[in-house]
């Protein structure tokens, strides 16, 4: 299984998109720190579509790259990890 890529290895356009979603979804520093700690653990992720629910937001991804963030209550159709 692949590992989630680190921020430094994300394509520039993807980083911009994720920053916009963080702002749009009002994801706070506490939540972002929770995400940072999880990423620092170098989690293995499925090669296909998946999401992880952090309670106040979800990260939706495909393989090693996050694709977007969803607010609590928004549904994701991918497999959960």
| Tokens (6 digits) for 73 | 């209550």
pLDDT at 76: 72
Q: Identify whether the C-beta of residue 25 lies closer than 8 Å to the C-beta of residue 69.
A: yes
Is 2 among the domain residues?
Answer: no
Please state, in angstroms and rounded to a whole number, the distance separating the CA atoms of residues 19 and 66: 12
pLDDT at 81: 60
User: DSSP letter at 77?
Assistant: -
3-state secondary structure (DSSP) of residue 30:
helix
How large is the average pLDDT for residues 13-30? 91
Is 75 among the domain residues?
Answer: yes
Is 29 among the domain residues?
Answer: yes
Q: Identify whether the C-beta of residue 52 lies closer than 8 Å to the C-beta of residue 38.
A: yes
pTM for this predicted structure: 0.79
- Boundaries of domain holding 30: 7-80
Is 59 among the domain residues?
Answer: yes
pLDDT tens track for 23-62: 988 899 999 999 989 988 999 999 999 999 998 899 999 9
pLDDT of residue 78 exceeding 60, the answer is no
Is 34 among the domain residues?
Answer: yes
Q: How many domains would you assign to the chain?
A: 1
């Amino acid at each position: 299984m692949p590992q989630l890529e680190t921020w430094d290895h994300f394509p520039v356009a993807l980083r911009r998109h994720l920053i916009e979603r963080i702002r749009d979804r009002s994801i706070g520093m506490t939540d972002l720190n929770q995400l940072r700690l999880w990423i620092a653990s170098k989690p293995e992720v499925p090669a296909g579509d998946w999401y992880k629910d952090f309670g106040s937001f979800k990260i939706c991804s495909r393989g090693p790259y996050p694709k977007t963030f969803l607010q609590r209550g928004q549904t994701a159709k991918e497999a959960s990890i």
